[in-house]
Amino acid sequence: MAAGARARKVAALLGVGMTTLQRWRRQFAADGDGLDRRKGSHRLVSHRLSEEERQRILLTCNQPEFAALPPGQIVPILADQGLYIGSERSFYRVLHAHGQAHRRGRARPPQEPRPVPRLEARGPNQVWSWDITYLPTSVRGVWLYLYLVIDVWSRKVVAWDVAEREEAQIAADLVSRACLRERISKRRPHPLILHADNGNAMRAATLESRLEELGVLRSFSRPRVSNDNPYSESLFRTVKYRPNYPRRPFTSVEEACAWVAAFVSWYNDQHRHSGIRFVTPSQRHSGAAVAISHHRACVYEQARQRHPRRWSRSTRCWRQPEVVWINPPPPDNGITTATLVKVA
């Protein structure tokens, strides 16, 4: 180990655990003898299975009538026949020792969990999030589909559309218009990342090929984890819980488009978002939010100087958040920005 061998490999070679190996190293550093001081067990286990009994269990489990049955089924059948070879746990232990306790069945074996998407945005047009939601119509069972693309850093709605169907071609055209409006090109040093869930339109090859042409990378949420796409989900709640949201279903696509256009105009230019220190998404997207926050801080500092006893510690923090995350990493784990962006 002093020459560079890995401790886990050394422990596996010696047949001991990592805790035992670490204790030996501490003893060697303290005493210098390096002796194995394990006392072990000197008991004679009289009820341990003999080699003959272990082989009998293997032969029984490999018989044609028991070959497709687990020990939980084999042991009761043997008991009905008046035979007892070992307990159910002993059967499993013997099968494990001889490599015959593998999983069987038609069900898909357990899958490794997908990695957590961790996306970082330090400015506008670095990470976009998009999703599709339903809008009710006057016809029962017929829906309109609202497409919304939001900038994660500034919370600005950069593109939207209302259609009568959910289709990848509509999403591809929407993203293309957004990239043209925001002047997104393939010559950028850091490509734009488009984050979405695992819907059919999001995974479609049509959208994938269009994003490749635009130089946009894709990122996906984990299956059935809505928290991986929080900004789009939060925006949809804001849409449908507005006081002026129609109480009755939309009668046409034109009516829905008119309402969504008015909402987007209000959201981008008038709504002071709590997640970005109560400035509008357009102000943060354009960079004007920095001067606004500085002016607010000066106003509060002047008020504090006039009445210092009204503030026990400090004034309200109006500083704009510099970094916005989708699934921020745990603190103090040494993860760097280069390893956090998981794209597809």
pLDDT of residue 88: 94
Tokens 């894709």 identify what position?
Answer: 218
Higher pLDDT among residues 16 and 104, named by residue: 16
Helices (H), the chain: 7-14, 18-30, 51-61, 71-80, 88-97, 168-181, 200-203, 205-214, 230-240, 253-269, 281-286, 289-306, 337-340
* Alpha carbon distance 153, 133 (integer Å): 22
Residue 172's pLDDT is 96
Q: Which CATH number fits domain 119-283: 3.30.980.10, 3.30.420.10, 3.40.190.10, 3.20.20.70?
A: 3.30.420.10
Q: Which residue has the higher pLDDT, 186 or 132?
A: 132
The answer to whether 74 and 91 are in contact (CB under 8 A) is yes
Q: Render pLDDT for 234-264 as a digit per residue (tens, 0 to 9).
A: 999 999 999 999 999 999 999 999 999 999 9
> Alpha-carbon distance 27 to 34, whole Å?
7
What is the pLDDT of the chain when averaged over all its residues?
Answer: 90
Q: What is the mean pLDDT of residues 105-117?
A: 82
Is the CB of residue 19 less than 8 Å from the CB of residue 56?
Answer: no
Round to whole Å and give the CA distance between 160 and 174.
Answer: 7
Residue 267 has pLDDT above 80, yes or no: yes
What residues does 135 pair with on adjacent strands? 144
Structure tokens at 108: 């898909």
Cβ neighbours of residue 174 closer than 8 Å, sequence gap 6 or more? 147, 149, 159, 160, 161
What is the model's pLDDT at position 30?
81
Whether the pLDDT of residue 334 is over 70: the answer is: no
User: What percent of the chain has pLDDT above 70?
Assistant: 94
**Domain ranges within the chain, ordered by starting residue:** 1-34, 51-97, 119-283
pLDDT band at 341, cuts 50/70/90?
very low
* pLDDT mean over 202-225: 94
State the pLDDT confidence band at 42, using cuts at 50, 70 and 90.
low
Q: How confident is the model at residue 343 (pLDDT cuts 50, 70, 90)?
A: very low
CB distance 101 to 92 below 8 Å = yes
Q: What is the pLDDT of residue 20?
A: 85
Residue 340 has pLDDT above 60, yes or no: no
| 137, 250 Cβ separation under 8 angstroms | yes
- Going 36 to 38 to 39 to 42, the CA torsion angle's sign is negative
The average pLDDT across 262-282 equals: 97
**pLDDT tens digit sequence for 116-135:** 999 999 999 999 999 999 99
The DSSP symbol for 280 reads: -
Alpha helices in 157-316 (DSSP H): 168-181, 200-203, 205-214, 230-240, 253-269, 281-286, 289-306
| Residues 121-150, mean pLDDT to the nearest whole number | 96
Q: What is the pLDDT of residues 78-93, one digit of tens each?
A: 999 999 999 999 999 9
Q: Which residue has the tokens 């503030």?
A: 311
pLDDT at 339 (0 to 100):
41
Distance of CA 76 to the CA centre of its chain: 45
Count of beta carbons in the 10 Å neighbourhood of residue 88: 14
